[in-house]
Structure 1
Amino acid sequence: MIPPVIVDTVIEARWIIPVEPEKTVLIDHAIVIDDGIIKAIVPSLQACSQFTPLNHITLDHHAIIPGLINLHTHAAMVLMRGLADDLPLMEWLNHHIWPAETRFVDANFVLDGATLACAEMLKGGITCFNDMYFFPEITAKAAIEMGMRAAIGLITIDLPSSYASDADDYLAKGLVLRDQYPQHPLLSFCFAPHAPYTVSDKTLANIMTYAEQLNLPVHIHLHETIDEIRNSLDTFGLRPIARLHQLGLLSPNLIAVHMVHLTNKEISLLKQQNCNIAHCPSSNLKLASGFAPVTDLLAHGINVGIGTDSAASNNRLDMFEEMRLTALLAKANSNKAEVLPARQALRMATLNGAIALGLDKITGSLSTGKAADITAVDFSGLTLSSCFDPVSHLVYVAGREHVSHVWVNGKLLLDEGELVNLNEMELINRAIHWQKRLNS
Structure 2
Amino acid sequence: MTAYAHATEIVDTLIEARWIVPVEPRGLVLEHHALAIDAGRIVALLPQAEARTRLRARKTVRLPQHVLIPGLVNLHTHAAMTLLRGYADDMPLMDWLNQRIWPAEARHVTPGFVRDGTLLACAEMLRGGTTCFNDMYFFPEAAAEAALRLGMRAVLGMLAIDFPTAYAADAEDYLSKGLAVRDSLRDQPLINFCMAPHAPYSVGDRLFEQVATLAAQLDLPIHTHVHETRAEIEESLRQHGVRPLERLRRLGLLGPNLIAVHAVHLEPVEIELLALHGCRVAHCPVSNLKLASGIAPSAQLMRAGVTVGLGSDGAASNNRLDMFREMNLAALLAKGSSGDATAVDAHAALRMASLEGAVALGLEREIGSLCVGKQADICAVRLDEIDLQPCYDPVAHLVHAAGREHVSHVWVAGNLRLEDGRLGGIDVAEMLDMANLWQNRLYSGFVSGGELECAMHDRRTGLTTW
- Give the TM-score range, shorter chain: over 0.9
Deviation at 1:54, TM superposition (A): 1.1
CA deviations 1:145-178 (Å, max 9, x no partner) are 1100110111111221111111110100001111
- Considering only aligned residues, what root-mean-square deviation do their CA atoms show, in Å? 1.0
Is 1:87 paired with 2:111?
no
Cα distance, 1:179 vs structure 2: 1.2
Report the AA paired with residue 129 of structure 1.
F
Find 1:148's aligned residue among 146, 152, 160.
Answer: 152
Q: Deviations over 1:268-304 (max 9, x none)?
A: 1101110000000000000000010011100000000
Which residue type is aligned with residue 73 of structure 2?
Answer: I
Secondary structure of the 2:64 match is strand
Counting only pairs closer than 5 Å after superposition, residues 165-184 of structure 1 correspond to structure 2 as: 165-184=169-188
Counterpart amino acid of residue 220 in structure 1 = T
Residues 221-249 of structure 1 show CA distances to partners (whole Å, capped at 9, x for unaligned) of 00000000000111111100011001000
Q: Which amino acid aligns with 1:413?
A: R
**Contact persistence 1:6–1:51 (CA under 8 A):** yes
Aligned counterparts, 1:20-99, within 5 A = 20-99=24-103
Q: How is 1:333-352 mapped onto 2 (pairs within 5 angstroms)?
A: 333-352=337-356
Provide the C-alpha distance between the structure 2 equivalents of 1:351 and 1:4, rounded to a whole number of angstroms: 26
The offset of 1:421, in angstroms, is 2.7
Alpha-carbon distance change, 106 to 398 in structure 1, aligned in 2, over 3 angstroms:
same
Equivalent residue, structure 2, for 1:404: 408
Q: TM-score with structure 1 length normalisation?
A: 0.98
Q: 1:268 is paired with a residue of what secondary structure?
A: helix
Please state if 1:159 is matched with 2:143.
no
Which stretch shows the higher mean deviation, 4-13 or 319-328?
4-13
Partners of 1:4 and 1:49 within 8 A in 2:
no
Q: Following superposition of structure 1 onto structure 2, how do residues 25-424 of structure 1 map, counting pairs within 5 Å?
A: 25-424=29-428
Gapped regions of structure 2 (runs ≥ 5): 1-6, 445-466
Q: Deviations over 1:156-209 (max 9, x none)?
A: 112211111111101000011111122421111001111111111111111011
Specify the SS of the correspondent of 1:21: coil
Q: 1:89: Cα distance to partner?
A: 2.4
Q: Name the amino acid aligned to 1:276.
A: R
* Cα separation, partners in 2 of 1:4 and 1:221, compared to 1, 3 Å: closer
Aligned residues: percent identity? 57
Cα-to-partner distance string for 1:124-161 (whole Å, 9 max, x where unaligned) = 00000000000001111111111001101111112211
Q: 1:120 and 1:247 mapped to 2: Cα distance? A: 38
Structure 1: stretches of 5+ with no match in the other structure: none
Find the aligned partners of 2:351 and 2:111 in 1 and give their Cα distance. Answer: 35
Q: Deviations over 1:388-410 (max 9, x none)?
A: 00000000000000000000000
Whole-Å Cα distance in 1 between the matches of residues 298 and 110 of structure 2? 36
Q: Is the 8 A contact 2:263 2:283 kept in 1?
A: yes
SS at structure 2 position matched to 1:283: helix
The 3-state SS of whatever aligns with 2:75 is strand
Return the letter of the residue paired with 2:300. D
Between stretches 44-53 and 308-317, larger displacement belongs to 44-53
Q: Does 1:18 align with 2:22?
A: yes
Residue 102 of structure 1 deviates from its aligned partner by 0.8
8 Å Cα contact 1:121-1:318 kept in structure 2: yes
Q: How far is the alpha carbon of 1:4 from its aligned partner? A: 7.6
CA distance in 1, matches of 2:289, 2:8: 53
Q: Distance in 1 between matches of 2:197 and 2:95?
A: 21
Aligned AA (1:143): A
Is the contact between residue 404 and residue 414 of structure 1 (CA under 8 Å) also seen in structure 2? yes
Distance 1:140 1:93 in 2: 26
Q: Report runs of 4+ in structure 1 exceeding 3 Å deviation.
A: none
- Number of positions where the alignment pairs a residue of Structure 1 with one of Structure 2: 438
Residue 195 to residue 337, structure 1, CA distance change in 2 (3 Å): same
State the secondary structure of the residue aligned to 1:205. Answer: helix
Between 1:313-322 and 1:152-161, the stretch displaced more is 152-161
Q: 2:128 corresponds to which letter in structure 1?
A: G
- Looking at structure 2, the residues matched to 312 and 364 of structure 1 have their Cα atoms a distance apart, in angstroms, of 27
Matched position secondary structure for 2:14 = strand
Whether the aligned pair in 2 keeps the contact of 1:140 and 1:150 (CA below 8 Å) is: yes
Letter in 1 for 2:383: F
In 1, the alpha carbon distance for the partners of 2:141 and 2:418 equals 25
Q: Distance in 2 between matches of 1:92 and 1:134?
A: 20
Work out the CA distance in 1 between the residues paired with 2:366 and 2:381.
Answer: 22
Secondary structure in structure 1 of the residue aligned to 2:58: strand
Partner-residue secondary structure (3-state), 2:380? strand
Cα contact 2:150–2:425 (8 A) shared by 1: no
Secondary structure at 1:292's aligned position in 2? coil
The 3-state SS of whatever aligns with 2:252 is coil
Q: Is the 8 A contact 1:115 1:143 kept in 2?
A: yes
Does structure 2 retain, via aligned residues, the 8 Å contact 1:19–1:65?
yes
> In structure 1, what is the Cα distance between the partners aligned to 2:142 and 2:184?
13
**Residue type matched to 2:419 in 1?**
D
